[in-house]
Amino acid sequence: MAAIVKRRRPSGVQLAEWRDGWLFASPFLLGVLFFWVGPMLYSLFLVTQDWDMLGAPQYIGLGNIRHILEDELVKKSLGNTAYYTFIGVPIQLLIALLLAIALNQDLRGRSFYRTVFYLPAITPAVASAVVWNQIFNADFGVLNNILRLFGHPGIKWLFEPSVAKPAFILMSLWGIGPQMVIFLAGLQNVPAELLEAAQIDGATSWQRFWSVSLPILSPVLFFNFVIGIIGSFQVFTNAFVMTNGGPQNATLFMVLYIYLNAFRFFRMGYAATLAWMLFWIIMFFTFLQFRIGNRLVYYEGKV
Amino acid sequence: MAIDLPASEERRPRTSARSGLSYRQQIRVGHLILHIILIAWGFTFLVPLLWVLSTSLKTPGQVFVLPVQWIPKTPQWSNYREIFEILPLTSFIRNSILVTTLGTLGSCFSALTVGYSLARLRWPGRDAVFSLLVATMMLPGVVTLIPTFILFKYLGWVDTFLPLFVPSWFGHAFYIFLMRQFMIGLPYELEEAGRMDGASSLRILWQVIAPLSGPAIAAVAIFSSLAHYNDFLGPLIYLSTNDKFTLPLGLFWYQGRYGNSWHLVMAASTVAIAPVIVLFFIAQRHFVRGIVLTGLAGR
Amino acid sequence: MVGNKRVSRRELLRGALVVMGGAALAACAPAAPAQPAAPAEGAAQAPAAAGGVIEIRIAAWGDVTDKQVYEAIVADFMKAEPGIKPTVEQYPGGYYEKIQANFAANTPADLIYFQGWSWQPFADKDVLAPLDDYIQQDQAKGFWVDNENYIANTMWQGKTYMSVADTGSVVMFYSKELFDKAGVPYPVDGWSYADFQSAVEKTTFKEGDIQYYGYAQAGGWNGTYLRSLHWMRMNGSLEWDQIVEPKEARWLQDDIINALQYTVVDTIARGLCPSPATIQGGGVTIATGRVALTMEGPWFLAQMQGDKPAREGGVPFDVVEPPLGATGKDETIAEVHGQVLAKASKNPDAAWKLMKYIMTDEGQKRIAEGGRMCGTPDNIEKYWVPIAQEKYKFTNGKAFANAMRTGRNPIFAGAGANYDAVAGQGTPLAVAWDAMLNGTSARDALTEAQPKLQKILDDYWAKKQ
Please write the tens of the pLDDT for every residue from B237-249.
999 888 899 998 8
What is the pLDDT confidence band of residue C2, given thresholds at 50, 70 and 90? very low
* Confidence at residue C239, expressed as pLDDT on a 0 to 100 scale: 94
DSSP reduced 3-state for C318 = strand
A248:C435 CB<8 A: yes
Whether the pLDDT of residue C13 is over 70: the answer is no
Per-residue pLDDT at B255 exceeds 50: yes
Closest chain A C-alpha to C421 CA, distance in angstroms:
5
Q: Do B91 and C35 touch (CB under 8 A)?
A: yes
Optimal mutation site among C91, C213, C425, interface A, most CBs of chain A within 10 A: C425
Task: For residue B134, give the nearest of A38, A114, A286 by CB distance.
Answer: A286
Chain C residues inside the 8 Å CB shell of B246: none
DSSP C61-89: -S-HHHHHHHHHHHHHHHHH-TTEEEEEE
pLDDT of residue C416: 85
Residue A279 lies in a domain: yes
Strand duo C291-296 + C334-341: pairing = unpaired
pLDDT score recorded for residue A274 = 94
Q: Per the domain annotation, does A57 fall within a domain?
A: no
CA dist C90 and C106 (Å) reads: 18
Residues A173 and A260 in one domain: yes
DSSP B13-40: -SB-TTT--BHHHHHHHHHHHHHHHHHH
Level-2 CATH architecture, domain B80-292: Orthogonal Bundle (1.10)
Confidence of residue B63 (pLDDT cuts 50, 70, 90): confident
Return the C-alpha torsion angle C343, C346, C350, C354, nearest 10: -50
Is the CB of C101 inside 8 Å of chain B's CB atoms? yes
In angstroms, the CA C9 to CA C15 distance is 10
Residue C356 pLDDT exceeds 90: yes
Q: What mean pLDDT is reported for chain B?
A: 81
- Between A53, A257, A267, which is nearest C104 by CB? A53
Q: Taking the model in full, what pTM does it have?
A: 0.86
> Does any domain span residue A183?
yes
- The DSSP line for B129-148 is HHHHHHHTTSS-HHHHHHHH
In terms of domains, do A246 and A105 share one?
Answer: yes
pLDDT band at B173, cuts 50/70/90? very high
Residue B291 has pLDDT above 60, yes or no: no
pLDDT for residue B288 is more than 90: no
Which contiguous run of DSSP H or E holds residue A175? none
Whole-angstrom Cα distance, residue C150 to residue C409? 9
A135 contacts in chain C (CB < 8 Å): 281
Number of compact structural domains in chain A = 2
Cβ–Cβ below 8 Å for A135 and B126: no
B87 close to C (CB below 8 A): yes
What is the pairing mode between strands C334-341 and C166-169?
A: antiparallel
**pLDDT tens digits for range A101-115:** 888 877 778 888 888
Tell me: do A42 and A169 sit in the same domain.
no
Candidates C427, C431, C452, C465: best to mutate against A (most CBs of A within 10 A) is C431
Please tell me which of the candidates B64, B105, B150 has its beta carbon nearest to residue C282. B64
**A203 plus A283 within the same structural domain:** yes
* Average pLDDT, integer, range C72-78: 96
Backbone angles phi, psi at C335, to 5 degrees: -80, 135
In a domain, A216, yes or no: yes
Residues A108, A21, single domain; the answer is no
The span from the CA of C94 to the CA of C100, in Å, is 10
Nearest to A113 among B38, B68, B118 (CB): B38
CB distance from C107 to chain B under 8 Å? yes
Per the structure, the complete domain to which residue A149 belongs is given by 65-296
Give me the pLDDT at residue C165, please.
95
Q: Would A59 be classed as within a structural domain?
A: no
Model confidence pLDDT, tens digit, residues C206-245: 998 889 999 998 654 445 788 889 999 999 999 999 999 9
Residues of chain C with Cβ-Cβ distance to A55 below 8 Å are: 125-127
Option in B52, B169, B188 nearest A303 (CB): B188
> Mean pLDDT throughout B43-65?
85
Cβ–Cβ under 8 Å, residues C110 and B263: no
> Is A7 domain-assigned?
no
Mean pLDDT of B193-207: 79
pLDDT for C377 equals 95
C2 touching B (Cβ < 8 Å): yes
So what's the pLDDT on residue A4? 61
**What radius of gyration do chain A's Cα atoms show?**
24
Percentage of residues of chain C with pLDDT beyond 70: 88
**Mean pLDDT throughout B47-56?**
86
Q: How far apart are CA C34 and CA C12, in angstroms?
A: 32
Q: What is the CATH number of the domain that holds A220?
A: 1.10.3720.10
Domain boundaries, chain B: 7-79, 80-292
Count chain A–chain B contacts defined by CB atoms under 8 A: 310
Q: What is the pLDDT of residues B90-147, one digit of tens each?
A: 999 999 999 999 999 999 999 999 999 998 888 999 999 999 998 898 888 888 888 8
Residue A27, pLDDT above cutoff 80: yes
Residue A53 resides in a domain: no
Question: Are residue A31 and residue A71 in the same domain, yes or no?
Answer: no
Report CB contact under 8 Å: A243, C221: yes
In terms of domains, do A42 and A103 share one? no
Which pLDDT score, from 0 to 100, does residue C48 have? 40
Band (A34; pLDDT cuts 50, 70, 90): confident
Give the pLDDT band (50/70/90) at residue B10: very low
Pairing between strand C166-169 and A58-59?
A: unpaired
pLDDT-based confidence at residue C378 (cuts at 50, 70, 90): very high
| DSSP assigned state of C335 | E
Does residue C324 sit in helix, strand or coil? Answer: strand
Higher pLDDT, B199 or A257: A257
- pLDDT number for residue A8: 66
Per DSSP, the three-state class of B254 is helix
- End-to-end Cα separation, chain B, in angstroms: 21
Cβ–Cβ under 8 Å, residues A56 and B158: no
A152 in the same domain as A23: no
Is the confidence metric ipTM above 0.90 for this complex? no
Taking the CA atoms of C213, C173, A127 and A244 in sequence, report the sign of the dihedral they define. Answer: negative
pLDDT in tens, A212-223: 888 888 888 898
Candidates B95, B152, B240, partner chain C, best to mutate (most C CBs within 10 A): B240
pLDDT for residue C339 is more than 60: yes
Poorest-pLDDT segment among A77-86, B47-56, C9-18 = C9-18
CA distance C12 to B148: 34
Indicate if the pLDDT at residue A151 is higher than 90. Answer: no
Residue numbers in C near A242 (CB within 8 A): none
Q: What is the mean pLDDT of residues A192-197?
A: 84
Residues A146 and A212 in one domain: yes
Residue contact A301–B183, C-beta within 8 A: yes
CB-CB under 8 Å, C94 with B233: yes
Q: Is A72 in the same domain as A140?
A: yes
A278 in the same domain as A142: yes
CA gap C97, C339 in Å, rounded: 17
Query: Strands C210-216, C166-169: parallel, antiparallel or unpaired by DSSP?
Result: unpaired
Same domain, A25 and A98: no
* Residue of C64, C104, C288 with shortest CB distance to B150: C104
Bridge pairing between strands C210-216 and C205-207? antiparallel
A256 close contact with C: CB closer than 8 A:
yes
Q: Return d(Cα A267, Cα A43) in angstroms, integer.
A: 13
**Whether A65 contacts A238, CB under 8 Å:** no
Q: What is the pLDDT of residue B21?
A: 65
Contact: B117, A24; criterion CB under 8 Å? yes
The answer to whether residue A52 sits within a structural domain is no
